[in-house]
């Protein structure tokens, strides 16, 4: 139950939403949309191409927010690095934006870091109010990484120069994999760094090893700054960057996402 006594459905909980942020009217919306999708007599292919019929307002807003971030970073040279892939919607969004708006920019890679098994561990700096602060939180299913790789292959066949890899998944504990990846890729430049690990240690590692690779004019975005549910992300930023020297901006379409331009 949330602070107002409303109980979230299993579907709402699976999204990792914060109960206290939702009204009684909202708690069943995902169930109703799922029912509408599953019971629709429209062919599945048509349902997918008309995805806005079945998507929540909040999810459309988040998709548009990522689009705005992509546009801010588009003029900068470098790859897009997403730290915290979860179910892959954000990662695939970056891929579609790049494939649609700069179809022949083959040097812009989309690189996603995740354990693909949920939170691996928590630090004392992660002590917040979220119900999801436990090992294994935000795991989806045991073959999510394979599912994403299969979908990447499908989408590669439907974009220009699809024979040149666009999306790369880096699985494992980011406190170890990020440094290893940076060391193995001395050419890596970053135009957009999107930090959605939620937790202190992986966010600190990302800022330590990836922020120096963000080019001047590149975008550094965060998903949980100034957020009591996940304080570790803010702590990692404060310990790494003098926040008084960067113009940290918020996005109007999404209350959580903020960014600065390097």
Torsion of CA 249, 251, 255, 257, to 10 degrees: -70
Task: State what percent of residues in the chain have pLDDT above 90.
Answer: 88
Q: What phi-psi label fits residue 258: left (phi over 0), alpha (psi between -120 and 50 degrees) or beta?
A: beta
Taking the C-alpha atoms of residue 212 and residue 206, their distance in angstroms, rounded to an integer, is 10
Taking the C-alpha atoms of residue 131 and residue 148, their distance in angstroms, rounded to an integer, is 27
Question: Predicted confidence band at 3 (pLDDT cuts at 50, 70, 90)?
Answer: very low
Neighbours of 210 (CB within 10 A): 23
Inter-axis angle of helices 57-73 and 89-101, nearest 10? 50
CB-CB contact of 119 with 91 (8 Å): no
Taking the C-alpha atoms of residue 74 and residue 161, their distance in angstroms, rounded to an integer, is 19
Please write the tens of the pLDDT for every residue from 227-250.
999 999 999 999 999 999 999 999
Instruction: Kindly tell me the sign of the dihedral angle through the C-alpha atoms of 203, 172, 150, 80.
Output: positive
CB-CB contact of 194 with 226 (8 Å): no
Please write the tens of the pLDDT for every residue from 132-178.
999 999 999 999 999 999 999 999 999 999 999 999 999 999 999 99
Give the lowest-confidence range in 5-9, 83-87, 236-240: 5-9
Q: Which residues contact 99 (CB under 8 A, 6 or more apart)?
A: 155, 159, 160, 166
- From residue 53, how far is each of 29, 36, 117, 180 by CA, in Å? 13, 9, 30, 42
Give all domains of the chain, ordered by start, each with its CATH number.
1-55 (no CATH), 58-261 (3.40.50.150)
Q: What is the mean pLDDT of residues 183-204?
A: 99
* Per-residue model confidence (pLDDT) at position 23: 77
Average pLDDT over all residues of the chain: 94
Please write the tens of the pLDDT for every residue from 16-59.
666 667 777 777 888 899 999 999 999 999 999 999 999 999 99
């Amino acid at each position: 139950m949330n602070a107002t006594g409303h109980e979230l459905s299993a579907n709402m909980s699976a999204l990792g939403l914060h109960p206290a942020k939702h009204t009684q009217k909202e708690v069943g919306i995902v169930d109703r949309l799922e029912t509408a999708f599953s019971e629709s007599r429209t062919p599945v292919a048509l349902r997918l191409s008309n995805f806005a019929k079945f998507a929540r307002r909040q999810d459309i807003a988040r998709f548009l927010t990522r689009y705005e971030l992509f546009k801010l970073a588009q003029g900068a040279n470098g790859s897009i690095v997403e730290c915290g892939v979860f179910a892959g919607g954000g990662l695939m969004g970056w891929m579609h934006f790049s494939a649609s708006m700069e179809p022949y920019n083959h040097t812009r890679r989309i690189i996603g870091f995740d354990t693909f098994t949920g939170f691996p561990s928590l630090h004392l700096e992660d002590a917040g109010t979220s119900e999801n602060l436990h090992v294994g939180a935000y795991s989806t299913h045991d073959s999510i990484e394979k599912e994403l790789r299969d979908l990447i292959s499908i989408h590669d066949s439907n974009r220009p120069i699809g024979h040149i890899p666009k999306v790369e998944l880096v699985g494992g504990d980011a406190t170890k994999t990020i440094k290893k990846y940076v060391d193995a890729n001395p050419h890596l430049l970053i135009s957009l760094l999107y930090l959605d690990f939620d937790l202190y240690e992986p966010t600190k590692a990302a800022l330590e090893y990836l922020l120096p690779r963000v080019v001047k004019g590149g975008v550094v975005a965060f998903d949980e700054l100034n957020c009591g549910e996940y304080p570790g992300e803010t702590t990692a930023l404060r310990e790494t960057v003098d926040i008084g020297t960067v113009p940290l901006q918020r996005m109007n379409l999404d209350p959580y996402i903020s960014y600065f331009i390097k």
